[in-house]
Structure 1
Amino acid sequence: MDAPGNISWAITATALVLLMTPGVAFFYGGLVKAKSVVSMMMMSFGSIGLVAVLWILFGFSMSAVESPAQFAGNPFADFGLSNLAAGDGSNVALLGVAYGATFAIITVALISGAIADRAKFGSWLIFAGVFATVGYFPVAAWVWGGGWIMNLGTTLFGEDSGVGVIDYAGGTAVHINAGAAALALAIVLGKRIGFQKGILKPHNVPLTLLGAALLWFGWFGFNAGAEWLAEDMGGVGLIGLNTLGATAAAILGWILVERIKDGKATSVGAASGAVAGLVAITPACANLTPGWSLLLGALAGVLCAVAVELKFRLGFDDSLDVVGIHLVGGLFGTLYLGLFATGTGLFVGGDIRQLAVQAIAAFGVLIYSFVVSFIIGFAIEKTIGFRITNEDEIAGVDLVVHGEEGYALVD
């Protein structure tokens, strides 16, 4: 892993995953009103600034534990990482820190889509900092840092069972985590003025398509980046192909639903389908054969296209469908492994145990993230306020909160 080729891929993958957060900004920015685009994109850039700093100061220290019984690592064990930077192998170790930071950043940024058009920027940053500290950093330790999820198979079935939770790149830690938090915040902040089906249109569709393209581009670093830790990077081919195939199939699944339901396949639907496929393949990218990945993507596109309608039936205003895409897509991709993970899935040589550990991990993170996020969001709303006033929402959050306009039109 300290070979020049591995190190080169590590820094490249880190840059790719960092680019995904501006990709989220573009994707979300095109979907909101013209008077909210600056606010929407600033939430993503604010996440980059804040979460990266917190990760370096104490988040990385919290993301690994010494035993599955620990909630999180000691945040003060190496505050600011001065010891890590001076130790043996620091070059490789610090690359790992940088790569991990990009995952923390995008997890927080994804949540912002649920509260578009109506959130205060300062309140969002407070939420982002607290959620990263008690929501993302501990969950990262559970999934990848030696925590209870990483050891769940051994705990339930013994060391020789060969069964463990599969989450290669973040179905639980990133997407279920962010999706559950988004649902909580959507409930806390309430509905936008005039919220109903069909009334709020994307203001800039090309911006959304650009964002989806950047996300797909960066996702190859997201899914395959950790292969730099393997001596021969032997899994990168399968991961890369699955990241391509599942995403392409999800586009077809989503636009098929649109065509049947509304009579037209839309470009926003194609972009949303791509993201749904990327979300679903994230936990599964290294543990499915290409055929099962195509099926996963197609089903995820269909399922998420149907799921985004839930907000109108259930009455919560998840502005940009974070719940319908990231929570539902993350859950589906994580549970799908219980059925089709190579060698351990129920239908491909395994038994029910793989599905059991996948379900426990997925719903454990979902419940934890929802409860924590609801408490943080509710506390902010009842103290300094999280939502802007109705008058400011009508006037436009960009001018009121940031003193800027996304489009300065002059005679």
Structure 2
Amino acid sequence: MDTGSIAWAITATALVLFMTPGVAFFYGGLVKAKSVVSMMMMSFGALGLVAVLWVLYGYNMSAVGGVWDFAGNPFSDFGLGQLATGESANTDLIGVAFGSTFAIITVALISGAIADRAKFGSWMIFAGIWATVVYFPVAAWVWGGGWILNLGETLGLPEVIDYAGGTAVHINAGAAALALALVLGKRVGFQKGIDKPHNVPLTLLGAAVLWFGWFGFNAGAEFSNELAGVGLIAINTIGATAAAIIGWLIVEKIKDGKPTAVGAASGAVAGLVAITPACANLEPGWALLLGIVTGAICALAIELKFKMGFDDSLDVVGIHLVGGLIGTLYLGFFAIDTGLFTGGDLGQLAVQTIAAVGVMVYSFVVAWILGFAIEKTIGFRVKNEDELAGIDTSVHGSEAYKFETV
């Protein structure tokens, strides 16, 4: 690997790592003032725990020797001692570091669904187990030689396209978020409009940090490809995201009469989610259409929780699960050369659908079982009185803001 590719690899790793504090800012601004520390700590807790697990055994699990293997052997190089002393250790370890940032943010994304009502210790137990039995194996399926990576060859169809994580990150996290929202139940007094974002600028800052870091997220893996595709990836990451803002705001204006700042931030994130699997496989015009469509659909999808009766506090399902599904399936129609309307047939759509549904069902079922087991043993949800008062003090013994009466 040349020095330019090495430099981009470490830069991209830092960019993606910065995205997890971006999630903390984005989510933190959306909750009430007395729960913001708890919300942000769930992201930072995931950052600390998942990074350690990735180094110890997660990276080993993220690649398989056979197509139908569940995951790699976690003890094959426990703690990466062999990899760190190999001839290509310098470049190998950069790849390990880059992969860790994806594992971290995938877990952190789930936390938004249970904002304002989750115990931190229970969340950390869930995060560690879910990363081990869901994210690490799914990463192996999608990128590490597993069944999703080889699905096209197995069926005699085009290969599954998930360049940067539509299935492995967003559908995966969104399905787990839905499961936890169902297990923990609704917040006290849950209804539309009951909780307003306490700090809109913080949410906008978080969205900006996410968009900034997403260039590493989408284009980072090009360090192994001599940066051959970064131009297309970069323009699609800008275009789809910008278009999604417009799509979301148009729906808000039509539906509620006013385009909002939170809507703009949410639209940007929805666009980023949708372009993630597709960033290297769409012409820029089709990426713009993807953004518009995703922004509009996700703006409508976040209302489903009120109609269907589940409390996804910060719309992880409506943005990440729905946006991830749109971006993944959209490739079946418009992927360069293989999409139904761009020179291919229904084969691309078929493999995209199988991969998306497979990951969604697996993640949901395991997350529901884990969440249910934790809730019935040590408890996952805080007491109602702590929830109403704001859980920063009861869970972490600190406050984001000092409220003083004069």
Q: Structure 2: state its 5+ residue gaps.
A: none
Partner of 1:364: 358
Match runs of 1:299-318 below 5 Å: 299-318=293-312
Match runs of 1:244-393 below 5 Å: 244-393=238-387
What does the per-residue CA deviation read over 1:88-140, in whole Å, with 9 as the maximum and x for residues that have no partner?
10000000000000000000000000000000000000000000000100000
Alignment partners' CA distance in 1, 2:77 and 2:347: 38
Match runs of 1:12-411 below 5 Å: 12-157=11-156, 163-231=158-226, 233-410=227-404, 411=406
Alignment partners' CA distance in 2, 1:175 and 1:135: 13
Alignment partners' CA distance in 2, 1:31 and 1:125: 21
* 1:35 partner SS: helix
What does the per-residue CA deviation read over 1:387-406, in whole Å, with 9 as the maximum and x for residues that have no partner?
00101111210000000001
Alignment partners' CA distance in 1, 2:76 and 2:91: 19
Alignment partners' CA distance in 2, 1:361 and 1:250: 24
* 1:282 partner SS: helix
Alignment partners' CA distance in 2, 1:100 and 1:253: 32
Alignment partners' CA distance in 2, 1:133 and 1:211: 27
Residue identity opposite 2:392 in structure 1: D
Alignment partners' CA distance in 1, 2:193 and 2:378: 32
Using the TM superposition, give the Cα deviation of residue 81 of structure 1 relative to its aligned residue in structure 2, in angstroms. 0.2
Alignment partners' CA distance in 1, 2:173 and 2:11: 25
RMSD: 0.5
Alignment partners' CA distance in 1, 2:361 and 2:194: 32
Using the TM superposition, give the Cα deviation of residue 256 of structure 1 relative to its aligned residue in structure 2, in angstroms. 0.3
Residue identity opposite 1:376 in structure 2: L
Using the TM superposition, give the Cα deviation of residue 230 of structure 1 relative to its aligned residue in structure 2, in angstroms. 0.7
Alignment partners' CA distance in 1, 2:293 and 2:403: 43
Alignment partners' CA distance in 2, 1:331 and 1:395: 36
| Number of residue-to-residue matches in the alignment | 405
Alignment partners' CA distance in 1, 2:184 and 2:109: 16
Partner of 2:3: 4
Q: Structure 1: state its 5+ residue gaps.
A: none
Alignment partners' CA distance in 1, 2:133 and 2:327: 25
Alignment partners' CA distance in 2, 1:10 and 1:333: 25
Alignment partners' CA distance in 2, 1:371 and 1:52: 24
Alignment partners' CA distance in 2, 1:320 and 1:110: 10
Alignment partners' CA distance in 2, 1:390 and 1:304: 30
Identity among equivalent positions (%) equals: 77
Using the TM superposition, give the Cα deviation of residue 276 of structure 1 relative to its aligned residue in structure 2, in angstroms. 0.2
What does the per-residue CA deviation read over 1:10-65, in whole Å, with 9 as the maximum and x for residues that have no partner?
00000000000000000000000101000000000000000000000000000000
What does the per-residue CA deviation read over 1:317-338, in whole Å, with 9 as the maximum and x for residues that have no partner?
0000000000000000000000
Alignment partners' CA distance in 2, 1:10 and 1:409: 44
Segments of 4+ moved more than 4 angstroms:
none
Task: Report the TM-score, using the length of structure 2 for normalisation.
Answer: 0.99
Residue identity opposite 1:382 in structure 2: K
Residue identity opposite 1:320 in structure 2: L
Alignment partners' CA distance in 2, 1:298 and 1:272: 13
Using the TM superposition, give the Cα deviation of residue 194 of structure 1 relative to its aligned residue in structure 2, in angstroms. 1.0
Using the TM superposition, give the Cα deviation of residue 409 of structure 1 relative to its aligned residue in structure 2, in angstroms. 2.6
* 2:343 partner SS: coil
Using the TM superposition, give the Cα deviation of residue 275 of structure 1 relative to its aligned residue in structure 2, in angstroms. 0.1
